[in-house]
Amino acid sequence: MREAPAASVDPTLSFDPHDRRFVEDGVPFDVLARIRREQPVYRTPSGAWYLSRHADVEAALVDVDTFRAELGPITGIPAGCATIPEEQHFLSEIPEPRHGRIRRLFNAIFAWHRVRQLEPILEAECNRLVDGLFAACAAGRAPDLHGEYALSIPAFAMAHIMGLGREAVGLFMQWSMDGTMMTRPATPGVAPEGPASHVYFRARIAEQRALPEPTNHVFKVLLGAEIDGRPLSDQELTTQLHFMVQAGVHTTRSFLAHLVNRLVQDPALFARLDADREQIPLYLEESLRHDAPVQRTTRIATRDVEIGGVLIKQGETVEMGIGSANRDEAQHEAPAEFRLDRSDPRGHLAFGAGSHVCPGAMLARLEGATAVRVLLDRAKALERVPGVIYPPLPGSLGHQPVPARLVGR
């Protein structure tokens, strides 16, 4: 076992997984390829560890006892979970065995037999949104397939699952775009009553508690649950409802935005999918691999551990390089290529791994498949707008528009 230096030993090899320039300039996958070859357990300029290879990332994601999820810094709390009240911990941050008990509630809510019932409702909503896209084109405006389609779909789906009305759709979209979803009551600068999402969900919880019985499955499951011998507090309920929107709207919109962005930028791919709709599921999986909507996720080492001969000490920050792992040459043939003929199309880590794998993965796939299918049904082409600089692929969680002109059938 050896200890790595405080930063890269090669001054020409520098990578900051939090660099905001990636959103507009794209992720430097050539640099990540060097890291996988030369320093697969890489010390970033900030002092965190970055795991770059598929095998290491997958093993660390599975080992939740050694690597605890840490979303504190991205919610404006650099000191992390240790300083955040437990009732404000998101599902992924809760340690076992409590995590597993609360995770079962999520599993009950997002079970496939329930999710698949959404398909006709999602299809109708996608068609309604495409009507609006065509109306914009008829009025001489190129609609934004990100803000007016990719973002709207998961917001609608989550509002419907929660039994909330159209008002919630607009709020979920707003909170995804204005940063609300990446805050919590402990975030510096947030009002004493918490972010707007918490105020909203506390009101919905109070309404449901006042009824003889909750009117929606989500609230029925959450309000009726007992974890470790007691019901969840209102703050715990609010935190997990917020997290459902954070993961199910904020992150899924990035997945759908990448799907539509690539269809606009690659007319040959659009035509291929149009000719063979059976390839849509393969398109979704290759997008998740090649254009991973979440490029990295943060963990804290709970004990000293060795990976690839490098000692990671208890308390150190470890970045799970999902985007790099998904392009690992040891895992995927010609990983830089976007291909629909891979032998193991789901052999990626876009949804995580192990007991913390995304509970809404099936819902995200259903939304993606429906969004793509409806676009193909309604449009024979998605034309780029001359002079527009399109977001890179992948563009991570950027907010850039994806304008296009739809050519009707």
Residue-level pLDDT at 8 = 46
How much is the pLDDT for 6?
44
DSSP assignment, residue 394?
S
Q: Is 356 exposed, middle or buried (0-12, 13-18, 19+ CB in 10 A)?
A: buried
Residue of 320, 350, 323 lying closest to 335 (CA atoms): 323
- What one-letter code names the amino acid at 8? S
pLDDT of residue 24: 82
Check: CB of residue 166 under 8 Å from CB of residue 149.
Answer: no
Per-residue model confidence (pLDDT) at position 397: 55
Q: CA dihedral defined by 256, 284, 217, 112, rounded to 10 degrees?
A: 180
Give CA–CA dist 201/214, Å, rounded: 14
Segments in 252-293 forming alpha helices (H): 252-265, 267-275, 280-290
Peptide bond connecting 293 to the previous residue in cis, omega within 30 degrees of 0: no
Q: What is the DSSP string of 160-187?
A: HHTT--HHHHHHHHHHHHHSGGG--TTS
Q: What is the pLDDT of residue 396?
A: 57
| Both tokens assigned to 346 | 């789901």
Task: Report the pLDDT value the prediction gives residue 7, as an integer from 0 to 100.
Answer: 43
Instruction: Compute φ and ψ for 120, nearest 5 degrees.
Output: -65, -30
Supply the pLDDT for residue 10. Answer: 72
pLDDT tens for residues 331-373?
A: 999 999 999 999 999 999 999 999 999 999 999 999 999 999 9
Q: In the chain, what are the domains?
A: 22-408 (1.10.630.10)
pTM: 0.95
Ranges of residues in the chain whose predicted pLDDT is under 70: 1-9, 396-398
The predicted pLDDT at position 239 comes to 98
Tell me which H or E stretch contains 230.
strand 230-231
